[in-house]
Amino acid sequence: MGFELEKKIGLEAVTKAARACAGISGEPRFREALYKTDGSPVTLADFFVQALINEELSAAFPEIPIVAEETSFCLEGSCGKKLRENLEELLPEKSPDEILCAINRGNHKGGGHGRFWTLDPIDGTRGLLAKRQYAIALALIEEGEVVLGILGCPELGPDTSNGAGGEKGFIFFAEKGRGSYQFGLWGNTRTRISVSGVEKVSDSIMCESVEAPDSSYEFSGKIAHSLNISAKSVRMDSQCKYAVLARGDTSIYLRPQPRKDYKENIWDHAAGYIIVKEAGGTVTDSSGKFLDFSVGKKLLENKGILATNGVIHEAVLQAVRKTVFQ
């Protein structure tokens, strides 16, 4: 069975949110952040996109729950007052209570049964704050398996590996068994995408986070060295890393587990995971294990992430296994 309606509504919601963000993210109020209890920033854009997309999804699919990153917690009390007022101005057709209610619709716990959406309204909030890359990431999970993924990347250019210019803004999507596609944020010509055909691992281009601990850079440096990779790594925020791998700009995305107790969030990977898989790539954790999206909000059974064009996956895995990470 396909997911035509889910894909249509999901694409409309992500495109609407990505266009809105592209139009307003330069405003100073989008650069004001509050900090969550884990120290990560959250902005007007995170709440605006979560309210908007949750609302569209629940109107079309009231029975499908949503696991989304944000809650209204930071908006409560005096420190959230300014953000609340800005949100009310951006969503004038909603009452203050309706806005909070829309945000809190993303409170599902995930798991291996039934269907649910998972949403990261702004993946790479630090990237948005620094005027780098960020993504709006939406995926549908059914019986623990990712079946649909959509990434809205308002700041992404047409080819990241050579830094060429061109109009910014792309949407990527993939449905299980039906391939991966991209289209320009301001157009609608859909192009099928596929991973790079690089066969020699030494010819590959690696991609990694911008905001990673020094130990992660040391580790990826050692891997690149052991594989004789001479190209400079592309550093990029958010699931845009999966998008550029899926369309062949890069061929490796390595994300070491930053600390023993750190577990990745499902919304930070689900959409990118299926977009790379359907473009012909391979995605596992950094030990080669399949990613298990069926165990709740986090990838509790996995450590780190390795995504490649598939052909070179085993070679990179071997290098990762041999290299000590500290």
Q: Applying CB under 6 A, which of residues 46, 56, 70, 268 lies at the interface with ligand AMP?
A: 268
* Interacting span for ligand AMP (CB under 6 A) from 120-128, 174-182, 183-191, 317-325: 120-128
Q: Are the CB atoms for 111 and 300 separated by under 8 Å?
A: no
Q: Are the CB atoms for 121 and 46 separated by under 8 Å?
A: yes
Q: Which residues, numbered 92-151, are part of the site for Mg ion (CB under 5 A)?
A: 120
3 state DSSP class of 16: helix
Can you name the residues that pair with 107 across neighbouring β-strands? 67
Distance CA 318, CA 308 (A): 13
Q: Applying CB under 6 A, which of residues 46, 56, 70, 123 lies at the interface with ligand AMP?
A: 123
Q: Which residues, numbered 243-302, are part of the site for Mg ion (CB under 5 A)?
A: none
Distance CA 252, CA 204 (A): 7
Catalytic residue among 15, 43, 46, 284: 46
Q: For the chain, how long is the longest CA-to-CA vector?
A: 58
* Helix residue ranges, H only, 227-324: 240-246, 270-278, 313-322
Residue 268 is among the residues annotated as catalytic for this protein: no
Q: Are the CB atoms for 159 and 175 separated by under 8 Å?
A: no
Through-space distance between the first and last CA atoms of the chain, rounded to whole angstroms: 45
x-or-dash pattern for Mg ion, window 45-84, by CB under 5 A? ------------------------x---------------
- Tell me the closest approach of the beta carbon of residue 246 to ligand AMP, in angstroms: 15
- Tell me the closest approach of the beta carbon of residue 210 to ligand AMP, in angstroms: 6
* Interacting span for ligand AMP (CB under 6 A) from 10-18, 52-60, 121-129, 187-195: 121-129
Q: How are beta strands 115-123 and 66-68 bridged, if at all?
A: parallel
Residue 237 near ligand AMP by CB under 6 A: yes
Site residues for ligand AMP per CB under 6 A: 40, 123-124, 127, 209, 211, 237-238, 258, 262, 265, 268
Q: Which residues are catalytic?
A: 46, 125
Site residues for Mg ion per CB under 5 A: 69, 120
